[in-house]
Structures are given as structure tokens and as C-alpha cells.
């Protein structure tokens, strides 16, 4: 079996504090045929502990891409899924681990670039980072002790991705590629500036407006042509050089 079964899938670890968790996560990934690792501002990397804990997945560690921000890590992705261990003030479209695996396999099979985000060991992903995701995924646990080690969480999600592939999931079809994360961020910037210009949005009293609009567009997953249409409508009201 080839080492990388999912060339369009990347696992993104955000601000990992212990390099051993990077190595253990890399091992969990490679066990499941996933080798694309992106590290967002790791506190200690490169580090011999990451190599030691990786065992036979040293190549995943040494070839990991290091970036400065989540935005950079997901800019070209059409599907972004964030792991979340707690309920949010504004509910977001949720997946369980099995549903996450099925979604990833279906869309990566279409050639879409997919990212799964895992947050900091002590506090997970921030609300701002989670708002950049199309879906959140939660790993159910027993009520008595719900804390999962980072590598354990990576293992569970990667396992479900591999199981979905082995089950021969039917691939989705669409006539146009989904918009990338960078395209969506440009839309949100343009939309917010336009809403301020027409007097609908007060940034001093935002009332969660942009958060709810992000949730709306992330739920419907616009494609590239639809984003072009929306940006064209906004430009007719508020032209921007973007």
C-alpha cells in the first residue's frame, strides 16, 4: 500500500507546545496512510523529541511544512474541518468522527484540498480559528474523563478517514470547484466593508453579525463561480481592489 493515500489532505497542528506530540501525531497519521503535516507556529520545532516519538514516521516530521498562521495553512483549501471539544455560543455545523471521515474521502476524491485542524494541547482552537472552518468535529468521550491527548485525537480522526476510504465511499460530483479559504476570507472582508458602508453593520456594536454570516456561507459552501457572483454584486455597491 502506498504511504500517502490522501495527497489532497493535510493535518494541521496549531501552536503545539510539546515536540513529542508532533512526533506521536505524525506516527498516528502514517499508520492511517496520511503524510501531509502542517505546523502552525510550533513552540519547539525542529526538535529531537519529535523525531524520537515519530518512530517510523520520521519522514512525516522532517517533511512537515511550518507556517505562521492558520490562514496560511488553509488558504488553498476548499474544505476545512476543525476539531472542537466544547459547545459554542453560536452552534456550527457538526460532524462526528465517522461523518468527518466520509466527508474528507468524498471531497478529496473530487480533487479538493482538505485540511483538518487540531488545536493547542491546553485550550484547543480559538473561536476565530473555528469560524474559518466549514464544519466542526467532536470526538465523543465518557463523561468522567473527556480529555484526549493530541496524538490520540489525530489517531481517531485519521482512522475514520481511512475506514471511509476502505469502505469505498461514492465520490461526490459538482460542476465547479468550491471556493478556497482565501477566497472566502476576501468575501468576508468585502462583505463587512460593504455592510458598514450601507449602514447595516456597526462594528462598534457588531451583535455577532459577521460570525453568523460566516456560519451561513460556510454551511452552504459556495463554489468559485458563486463567489465571483457575490463579489460582483458587492463591487457594484462598494468597489474594492481585491
3-class secondary structure per residue, 197-228? HCCCCCCCCCCCHHHHHHHHHHHHCCEHHHHH
Mean pLDDT of 78-107: 91
User: Percent of the chain at pLDDT above 70?
Assistant: 95
Overall size of the chain counted in residues:
242
CA distances from 177 to 78, 118, 227 (A): 8, 25, 11
Partners of 22 in beta bridges: none
* pLDDT given at position 90: 82
Mean pLDDT of 72-81: 98
User: In this model, does residue 124 exceed pLDDT 50?
Assistant: yes
Local confidence band at 169 (pLDDT 50, 70, 90 cut-offs): low
User: Percent of the chain at pLDDT above 90?
Assistant: 86
For the 181-237 domain, the top CATH level (class) is: mainly alpha
Mean pLDDT of 211-234: 96
* pLDDT given at position 119: 96
CA angle 54, 71, 94 (to 5 degrees): 80
* pLDDT given at position 147: 82
Mean pLDDT of 160-183: 87
Q: Rounded to an integer, what distance in angstroms lies between the CA atom of residue 153 and that of residue 25?
A: 9
* pLDDT given at position 242: 47
- 19-76 pLDDT tens trace: 999 999 999 999 999 999 999 999 999 999 999 999 999 999 999 999 999 999 999 9
The mean of the pLDDT values for the chain is 94
* pLDDT given at position 52: 97
Q: Rounded to an integer, what distance in angstroms lies between the CA atom of residue 34 and that of residue 46?
A: 20
Mean pLDDT of 141-145: 88
- The architecture (CATH level 2) of 9-166 comes to 3-Layer(aba) Sandwich (3.40)
Q: Rounded to an integer, what distance in angstroms lies between the CA atom of residue 7 and that of residue 45?
A: 24
* pLDDT given at position 197: 96
User: Considering the entire predicted model, what is its pTM?
Assistant: 0.89
Closest to 22 measured CA to CA, from 88, 30, 225: 30
Closest to 38 measured CA to CA, from 25, 48, 55: 25
* pLDDT given at position 170: 58
Residues of the chain within CATH 3.40.1280.10 domain(s) are 9-166
Mean pLDDT of 74-101: 91
Amino acid at each position: 500500500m502506498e504511504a500517502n493515500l490522501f495527497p489532497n489532505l493535510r493535518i494541521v497542528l496549531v501552536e503545539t507546545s510539546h515536540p513529542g506530540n508532533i512526533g506521536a501525531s505524525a506516527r498516528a497519521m502514517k499508520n492511517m496512510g496520511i503524510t501531509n503535516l502542517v505546523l502552525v507556529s510550533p513552540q519547539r520545532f525542529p526538535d529531537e523529541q519529535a523525531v524520537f516519538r515519530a518512530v517510523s514516521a520520521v519522514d512525516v516530521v522532517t517533511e512537515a511544512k511550518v507556517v505562521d498562521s492558520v490562514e496560511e495553512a488553509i488558504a488553498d483549501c476548499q474544505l476545512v474541518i476543525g476539531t472542537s471539544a466544547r459547545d459554542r455560543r453560536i452552534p456550527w455545523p457538526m460532524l462526528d468522527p465517522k461523518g468527518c471521515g466520509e466527508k474528507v474521502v468524498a471531497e478529496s476524491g473530487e480533487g479538493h484540498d482538505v485540511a483538518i485542524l487540531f488545536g493547542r494541547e491546553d485550550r484547543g482552537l480559538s473561536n476565530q480559528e473555528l469560524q474559518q472552518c466549514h464544519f466542526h468535529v467532536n470526538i465523543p468521550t465518557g463523561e468522567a474523563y473527556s480529555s484526549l491527548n493530541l496524538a490520540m485525537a489525530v489517531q481517531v480522526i485519521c482512522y475514520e478517514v481511512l475506514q471511509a476510504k476502505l469502505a469505498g465511499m461514492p465520490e461526490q460530483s459538482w460542476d465547479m470547484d468550491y471556493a478556497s479559504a482565501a477566497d472566502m476570507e476576501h468575501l468576508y472582508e468585502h462583505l463587512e466593508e460593504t455592510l458598514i458602508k450601507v449602514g447595516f453593520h456597526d462594528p462598534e456594536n457588531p451583535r455577532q453579525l459577521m460570525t453568523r454570516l460566516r456560519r451561513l456561507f460556510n454551511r452552504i459552501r459556495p463554489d468559485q463561480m458563486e463567489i465571483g457572483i457575490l463579489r460582483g454584486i458587492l463591487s457594484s455597491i462598494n468597489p474594492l481592489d481585491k
